[in-house]
Amino acid sequence: MRYSLIPAALLAASLVGAVPTTPSLDTLGSQGLIPSVAERVYDSVHKWWSSEEVSGEDIYQGIKIGSVRQDGVLYDTLTHPSHPEYRLRITSESHRAAHPAICDPDVKQISGYLDISENKHLFFWFFESRSSPSEDPLVLWLNGGPGCSSTTGLLFELGPCQVAKEGKDAKVNVTDNQYSWTNKANVIFLDQPVGVGYSYSDDEQVNNSPAAAEDVYAFLTLFVGKYSKYRKNDFHISGESYAGTYLPNIAHVIHNENKRLLSMSASARPLPILNFKSVLIGNGLSQPDIQFASVPEYACDSEYAVYEDPQGSECTSLRSKMSRCENLAKSCFKTNSKFTCVPAELICWNGFGQLQDLGLNMYDTRKKCDRSEDADGPLCYRQMGWIEEYMNSQEVKNALGAPKDVKFQSCNMDINRNFLFNGDVMRETSLLMVPLVNEGIRLLIYAGVRDLMCNYIGNEQWVDVLPTKYNEEFMNSTATPFIDSDKKETGYVRSAGKGAGNVAFMAIYDAGHMVPQDQPVASLDMLQRWLDNKPLAHGK
């Protein structure tokens, strides 16, 4: 797919501190454009230059802006020489005006794509805060998988609306989520890697988290380069499940790039510095050896055990499988080779086979699961099918600027396999957080206690041994009740450091893998206290 660009000479700027000027219609005419085309170009450029997000002092060195009509949609574009392989493509103001806002029409929302080397295209959907957009933090949300769309997190967990009525009527099939994280933050939902959700590729795919992290960083810098009013807001990255692998990689790239930019004089910085504050991971996978080894303890010995007899044959078999898994995972860490890591992955996930045979929802053991397509579906949540129905309606695609031929999938199993067979699942990504935490980036690990896939025991155990300068304080910390705004005890908290903690762990009762869906009040309270850097536990 080739871009149909308006002439670059008309739309490019290479400015440092100079207030840009809009080209006149006479200038456009001198470029050989017929009058009707020149008028449309003039209108597009004028709207871009005069928009509230772009001002002279916010144009970074070498930034280029433009406009493109692609698949029948008019987009504004942004490129920068520091990211020569990337282009930010945003649905234009005129397009958004022609298509009434969906999901939450009362707040500003933006959608579009990060184009990568003309072949890969990452979809994003952004919502301003319902409270104070100019002051509230900017938060990135990612779902896991690998291969699951962050839009499912938007429409099922923490976004401003949720899919209802099986997703079959785009006009009436969403309900307001009064506990949305957008109550307290400006939130970006990014479908990554390519091939997930509305994100698509002409002929390429991503199969590892470090490469995905580079794409995400390029997106973030271009986004705040365009929307400068969020640049000074605190910035946090968050997600669940395989985001426990994605996010440490992304945090590592952001932190290193920030340090590189800070080493330059302010006038020489080609890119904005992200005001990066923290990482929040829910029921994530970050330390495979410890987390897989904890499965028998959870399944057989905990108060949430799924086997009645901790000494029975099922538990004996599970302990044996996970012991072998743990040893292979450690070998993977030493070699960092897919030839060691892929076998480790296969052995470890094989241990879950007998647990799936129990007929339970692995993400919430309080529930049974019929995985047939006409029942709960392969992921045990029929709402995933509703989301696909909704997102594949032409009305929604038109509103969000998604190509007609892109098929939205809640989870793409081909992407999942690509990551699996590259050995990415078995990486020790928790250690990427150590230098960041030591240098002031805060870390919150939270987990619903009824999740069997990424259980809370294993998550707490790896935080216990994370070798930061706060390790001893965290190891000596005691569990303190978490009291939500409804005055209910909905979990416990351990932390080390100041305020909400430089390192913190929170277990959430009566919740599975998807905490914001199961415990919306506690989830929103947790978010606000963390963003405000105030103690998580009530009365602490």
Burial class (CB in 10 A: 0-12, 13-18, 19+), 45: buried
Q: Write phi, then psi, for 357 (nearest 5 degrees).
A: -65, -10
Instruction: Give the residue ranges of DSSP H helices in 136-282.
Output: 150-153, 209-226, 243-262
Cα(203)–Cα(91) distance, integer angstroms: 24
Q: What are phi and psi of 206, to 5 degrees?
A: -110, 140
Among residues 76, 451, 484, 518, the one annotated as catalytic is: 451
Question: Strand 186-191 and strand 120-127: pairing?
Answer: antiparallel
Q: List Cα–Cα distances, 170 to 160, 162, 256, 390, 469, in angstroms.
A: 16, 12, 43, 6, 51
Considering the candidates 82, 495, 513, 523, report the single residue annotated as catalytic: 513
Q: Is the peptide bond before 146 cis (omega within 30 degrees of 0)?
A: yes
Quote the CA–CA distance of 508 and 459 in Å, as a whole number.
12
Question: What residue type is assigned to position 294 of the chain?
Answer: S
Residue 538 is among the residues annotated as catalytic for this protein: no
Closest Cα to residue 507, out of 316, 225, 302? Answer: 302
CB 139 within 8 A of CB 146: no
451 is catalytic: yes
Which residue intervals of 164-234 are DSSP H helices? 209-226
Q: Is 241 an annotated catalytic residue?
A: yes
Which one of the listed residues 241, 410, 430, 477 is annotated catalytic? 241
Nearest in space to 379 (alpha carbons), one of 512, 193, 189? 512
| Cα–Cα distance, 281 to 454 (Å, whole number) | 11
Return the amino acid letter for 145.
Answer: G
Residue 306's CB is within 10 A of a number of other CB atoms, namely 16
- Burial of 263: CB neighbours in 10 Å, binned 0-12, 13-18, 19+: exposed
Positions marked active-site: 241, 451, 513
